[in-house]
Structure formats: structure tokens, C-alpha cells
């Protein structure tokens, strides 16, 4: 009888719709895969209790972290593009946001996907670089944060 162990969280793969290249799929950390259903409390006269009913689902932002890559990264370009990503100037209401689907796959030791999540209509909301410090021996980390419409388990 074989034992079933929980999967390790360090072997995963990412892909972006319309983006190819290994550098754009290599990330050191993925976080924010969560959802929360809200609750509305309704008081009804004469009852000694409060009705609690479910409301819409709320998704947290997807955060991806990786070593800082070259300027020609398609993902970094998408995130920093004034129209499709995070605008560095004034925002116009006529600009359209370019969305992409992001797929995160958790892999087993053979590289076969165990579970996958597809983040639908994702768009960049935050881009940052880790602090530079001459006293530390660390890699510069680029952090990308995405909002999305919803995610589904594949």
C-alpha cells in the first residue's frame, strides 16, 4: 500500500496567456490564492436571532515574486505599459486595460501537474522592487501584483 503525502509547495509552474519564454514563467513565490464569501446579517423583528446569509465572493490579489529580469521581459513590459498596465502618468478613462489569464500549476516530483488554478482576466495593479542595501548580499526581487475577475480550479 503506497502512502500519499501532501505535495510540496516549492515545485510550481506559471504561464501567461499570449506570453512565451522561460524567464517570464520563472518565479520564486506565488501568494494570494484565496477567496472569501461575505456574510450579510439581517435582523428580523420579533426573532431572538439574526439571519446570516451569504453574499458575493471576494478574491485577494495574486502576488508573484521573482529575481529582477531584463527590460525585454514581456510580463514586465505588460505591467509597466502605460495603457495595458500600471500607468506612470495621469490615468485616462478612455484607456483600456489589457488583461491576460494566468495559470499556476502545482507539480509533483516528476513535473506532472497535481492541481492548477486559472486566474481569469488578470491585470497588473502593483509593481515593486525590493530595497537595495549595500550591506546585504541579496538578489533584487521584482514583485508583481494582479487583480482578476475570478479564479477556477482546473
Please tell me the predicted confidence (pLDDT) of residue 121: 94
Classify the phi-psi angles of 93: left when phi > 0, otherwise alpha if psi is within -120 to 50, otherwise beta: alpha
Task: Give, as one character, the DSSP assignment of residue 132.
Answer: P
Q: Sketch out the chain's domains with CATH numbers.
A: 12-153 (2.30.110)
Confidence of residue 85 (pLDDT cuts 50, 70, 90): low
Please give the Cα distance from 123 to 84 (Å, whole number): 8
Q: Is the Cα dihedral 129, 141, 65, 37 positive or negative? A: negative
Report, as an integer, the average pLDDT of 119-125. Answer: 92
Report, as an integer, the average pLDDT of 134-142. Answer: 87
**Cell 491576460 belongs to residue:** 100
Report, as an integer, the average pLDDT of 52-77. Answer: 87
Which one is predicted more confidently, 113 or 19? 113
The answer to whether the CB of 30 falls within 8 A of the CB of 12 is yes
What does the pLDDT look like over 63-74, one tens digit per residue?
A: 999 888 766 778
Give phi and psi for 123, each to the nearest 5. -145, 150
- Determine which of 13-27, 46-60, 94-108 has the lowest per-residue pLDDT on average: 13-27
- Those residues with Cβ within 8 angstroms of residue 37's Cβ, 6 or more apart along the chain or in another chain: 54, 55, 56, 57, 58
What does the pLDDT look like over 6-41, one tens digit per residue?
A: 777 777 888 888 777 666 677 889 999 999 999 999
Closest Cα to residue 106, out of 97, 115, 98?
115
Please tell me the predicted confidence (pLDDT) of residue 117: 94
Amino acid at each position: 500500500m503506497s502512502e500519499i503525502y501532501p505535495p510540496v509547495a516549492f515545485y510550481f509552474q506559471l504561464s501567461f496567456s499570449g506570453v512565451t519564454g522561460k524567464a517570464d514563467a520563472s518565479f520564486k513565490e506565488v501568494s494570494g490564492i484565496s477567496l472569501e464569501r461575505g456574510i450579510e446579517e439581517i435582523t428580523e423583528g420579533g426573532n431572538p436571532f439574526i439571519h446570516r446569509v451569504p453574499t458575493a465572493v471576494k478574491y485577494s490579489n495574486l502576488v508573484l515574486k521573482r529575481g529582477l529580469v531584463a527590460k525585454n521581459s514581456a510580463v514586465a513590459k505588460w505591467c509597466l505599459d502605460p495603457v495595458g498596465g500600471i500607468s506612470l502618468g495621469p490615468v485616462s478613462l478612455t484607456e483600456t486595460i489589457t488583461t491576460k489569464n494566468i495559470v499556476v500549476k502545482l507539480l509533483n516530483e516528476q513535473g506532472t501537474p497535481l492541481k492548477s488554478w486559472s486566474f481569469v482576466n488578470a491585470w497588473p495593479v502593483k509593481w515593486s522592487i525590493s530595497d537595495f542595501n549595500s550591506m546585504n548580499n541579496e538578489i533584487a526581487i521584482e514583485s508583481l501584483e494582479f487583480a482578476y475577475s475570478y479564479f477556477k480550479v482546473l
